[in-house]
Chains A and B, each alone.
Chain A
């Protein structure tokens, strides 16, 4: 099947407006006759469900958590971008568009990204109207800060809990629609397959996680907003339950999966502590506004620190290597995430890592300079023009606390160290997946009637996402894109009538799900699900991680294939199918992660270039920066499913055309 991205004609700044004017509508009296299913209640899912419910469609929303308010968008810390230019520092829709395309290393779709930049302003207006308590300055207006890959201050925030506040905003809009009866909410339900009738998405099979019952739900359109697949690495900053299953089931039923190898490894996470660790914790990128990243310039100092003989505060200024400021003076500590992560890996590989764990991997994020700068400023504002060092420290720490207090507390809880007194230790960790289900400009997948939004789709971030852009995309998709494009699709469904769940397609899909569950329960192997998940994670991190090469990727494809066989031969899932069974939930998810992992390795192997988060050691310039190959790889790799052995998947290419931005080498120096 040929890929048609359905990008509208016309100038980039008019495409979305013209497109909206030409989309078909569904009259208010017809909307209640139409059912829409939304899977996932993060920013994209909750905002889509709320908006469609408010329009009058009959919406059913599903989440595996005990409440829609728990979706993992809640954990986003730093902020949300919008081209408001409130700070008068030269921002504009075009600049946000340009920064996002450049940040994505020229592997995102121009038209989608421009639309995102266009609606960014409305998101902030909408959220403020909903009562989202963003940070404000003393004049009562909204405050902003900087994020990586930009030279303006366009990030809106609510302390280090921006995702929480935005999600609770979307959740309040969703709750309102649930209360009005426009949305029916299914908590503790997991989608285990999509049902197609005559080629169109017509419903889902969901498992009630409390009773174990399989349920059939029909609809005229299905929206997948189930998040990203970072947990394929086992250790990541994702929530424990975050999974690829909804996306993968859609992929298995005919939706192409795009750019699976584009994974974001976030530079500032708390380093791994031991083998029983289940998850990694992010320290927000916003900290790079105030923190300086360094390692000891001398290897012997790094060794002494790891041995516990030296403290970081004892290393003299001239013996520190502020490697981001040294390598990228124009952006300094605020280079994009992929660039910062690789630089941290390079200095650790060279023996300068400071963490005393198995891999010696860790660098410092130091707030000492900022505490002094802000402490002085605060003293001056109080009229003290000759403050003592003690007063500077006191006031500076107070300032840091007001900006990042919750992050500093979290850091101390986890590591038992006080980051006001000693620099934080950080290291890159898997955080976000740019790849996902392929969608056209309308966010519809290659299955008619199946839309995909938020992190679950692939469309806006290319090979690397800029900080504070995930929240923007989730809400843009749900509030401002899907209501238009889904209606356009549903305009042809007003005569369809209620869709029966008694058709052979539903029966067959339910039986297939039941069979896969019984297979796992009856397997009675010897190893737990986590055993296999951890094994998969290690293969992925070592061979499909921050730096990749042909040999490693070829091995990974082989090893994951073997792991899939071992999993089905020897996994042990205790308990029964018809009850609450968390091991069964995990087993079903890991089965899909294994297939996905293999596809990621294959995608990475075929992309013989380096771009954004995808770094192939064979393709780098003399200074170790990514070397893109625009002639051969300026395309979206959209994979068609071809059996559980992902190495046999079929590649389709969507050429990326840059008509409005000149494609260039990405330079942050």
Chain B
């Protein structure tokens, strides 16, 4: 464990009552933050202070706090999930910040992710993309073939897993200058494209998911690569390339 010490920080946080109200940045001072605290524990501490001072606490999304549910978000000092790489906000720790530092905290900024309140946004567009085709149409009878009847090359299985590791947090969209969701959609398309079980519906899947993605108002990919850098799970840009190939294949056939 790093040397135990507490730091004092200044916070500039986006406050917005609800989707139909205009928001603004508010300033707060928070003392005695343990460097072993996670970023969200720091926000808990701020909220405790606000409640004790009869002020309204800051609303933010979070749940598992172990970097896997994808519910936490936050643009911290101009970066999705903050200054650390390969991490979600809940796994970011205060030892990454300096005593006396001013930290800017904003919600995801994207047309397709409207603000719900303060730092919370509506990411249900992702759900709708998944509903458009992110599945294998197999009934849940359990009466399929034996799980080992179809061997899958380890390399393909591993690649499918790495694509499927996406947590759906939306950092890729938030960080993209075009507000593109192609890393998210590419990862889902890739997972199924790499597995024999997904091949049967490959054509419909990619066409339907991309159509829904466009309808939701996400932008297009211009190969900047910021999404890959900010993705807490290291989802590779290769997945976008694979989706494009799948899309092209589906469109010409």
Contacts and interface: CB of A to CB of B under 8 A. Distances in A.
Interface in A115-165: 119, 122-131, 133-142, 158-159, 161, 163-165
B117 interface: yes
Given A126-B144, A131-B197, A580-B18, A278 B65 contact: yes
A178 interface: yes
Contacts, number: 226
B34 A273 contact: yes
Interface size class of A (residues with CB under 8 A): 35 or more
A276 B69 contact: no
A279 B65 contact: yes
Contact of A131 (B66, B67, B148, B195): B195
Interface in B110-155: 116-117, 120, 122-124, 126-127, 130-132, 134-148, 150-154
A307 B140 CA distance: 56
A549 interface: no
A531 to B, nearest CB: 8
Contact of B157 (A65, A135, A172, A480): A135
B36 interface: yes
A277 B154 contact: no
A564 to B, nearest CB: 20
Interface stretch (B98-106, B161-169, B174-182, B215-223): B161-169
Contacts of A649: none
A416 B95 contact: yes
Contacts of B84: 413
Contacts of B65: 239-240, 278-279, 281
B8 interface: no
A74 B164 CA distance: 13
Nearest to B131: A179
B127 A142 contact: no
B139 A54 contact: yes
A176 interface: yes
Nearest to A583: B57
Contacts of B34: 273-274, 276
Contacts of A479: 140, 142
Given A125-B145, A278-B41, A74 B135 contact: no
A418 interface: no
Nearest to B130: A175
A129 B144 contact: yes
Nearest to B71: A70
A356 interface: yes
B240 interface: no
Contacts of A173: 135, 140
Residue from A124, A241, A582 having most chain B Cβ neighbours under 10 A:
A582
Contact of A413 (B44, B69, B93, B160): B93
Contact of B140 (A51, A161, A165, A417): A51
Contacts of A51: 140
A263 interface: no
A70 B131 contact: no
A187 B154 contact: no
Contacts of B143: 122, 125
Contact of B18 (A71, A138, A579): A579
Given A72-B64, A175-B131, A479-B142, A582 B57 contact: yes
B68 A528 contact: no
A492 B154 CA distance: 49
A65 B69 CA distance: 10
Q: Which 3 A-B pairs rank lowest in CB-CB distance, beginning with the nearest?
A: A140-B151, A122-B142, A179-B131
Interface of A: 47, 50-51, 54, 65-72, 74-75, 84, 86, 119, 122-131, 133-142, 158-159, 161, 163-165, 168, 171-173, 175-176, 178-179, 185, 187, 210, 237, 239-241, 273-274, 276-279, 281-282, 356, 409-410, 413-417, 479-480, 483, 528, 530, 572, 574-575, 579-580, 582-583
13 contacts: A66-B122, A84-B148, A126-B138, A129-B138, A130-B136, A133-B164, A141-B151, A176-B137, A273-B1, A483-B140, A528-B48, A574-B56, A579-B17
